Amino acid sequence: MFDFPWNDGSQKFEAPFVGSFDNASLHTTKLTRNGATGAEVQHMLGGSTFFTSVAWAGKAILSRDTPSAHRYSLKPSKSRTTTLSLTATYSLQSHSSLHLPTVPQVIQSSQTWWANYWNTGGFIDMVSGTHTPEANELQRRVILSQYIEAVNEAGDFPPQEVSNLNSFMELVYGKFCGSPDL
C-alpha cells in the first residue's frame, strides 16, 4: 500500500509524525500512469508536486482504494506466486518512462557501491599492537561512524546536523572534498 498524508511541515520534529491522513481535501493525488509492470502517482501538496513511481515483476495492478482517500494498493494477480518484487522511487519530477531498475539491479548497485566505499579510503588501525580492550571499542566506533556518515549523506541534501559552513563547502567543492585553501 502507498498512502499519501497531508503535511504542512509544522510538526516535522514530532517523530514519528509523517502527516495527517484525516485531511484528504487539503491535497490531491492521481494515478498518472498505470501499466502492466509499473505505475506513477502524482501527489500535489500546497505548491509542491511529488511523484512516486513503482515498477514490479510479475502480474499486478496498482489502484486507488477509494476516491476520498489518498491510498493506493499494489495487488498481485491471483496465481501461485508467493512473492512480489517491486522498486519504488520518489522524485520531484515525473519519470519519462516506467523503466525503473529491477530489484536485482538495485541489489547489485548497492553491493557495488558499498564494496567501493569500504575498499577505498582508509582509517587508522587502533587495534594492532595493543591489548587494550578500549582499542577495540574505539575502532568499532570509528567504523560505525563511517557507516553512519555514508548513510546520512546519501542524498542530494545534507542532514540537518551539518553546520552551515560545512553545507556551503560541500555545495562549492563537493562532498567531503574540502577546499584546497583550508
Domain boundaries, the chain: 2-93, 122-173
Burial class (CB in 10 A: 0-12, 13-18, 19+), 4: buried
User: Does residue 182 surpass a pLDDT of 80?
Assistant: no
In tens, the pLDDT along 2-21 reads 999 988 777 777 777 788 88
Per DSSP, helices labelled H in the chain are 103-119, 133-152, 164-173
Question: Cα–Cα distance between 88 and 48 in angstroms, integer?
Answer: 20
In tens, the pLDDT along 71-98 reads 999 988 877 667 788 888 888 888 766 5
Cα 123 off chain centre by: 28
Residue with cell 519530477: 93
Question: Cα–Cα distance between 73 and 57 in angstroms, integer?
Answer: 16
Output the pLDDT for position 7. 84
In tens, the pLDDT along 160-174 reads 655 555 555 555 555
User: Does residue 177 surpass a pLDDT of 80?
Assistant: no
Q: What percent of the chain has pLDDT over 90?
A: 20
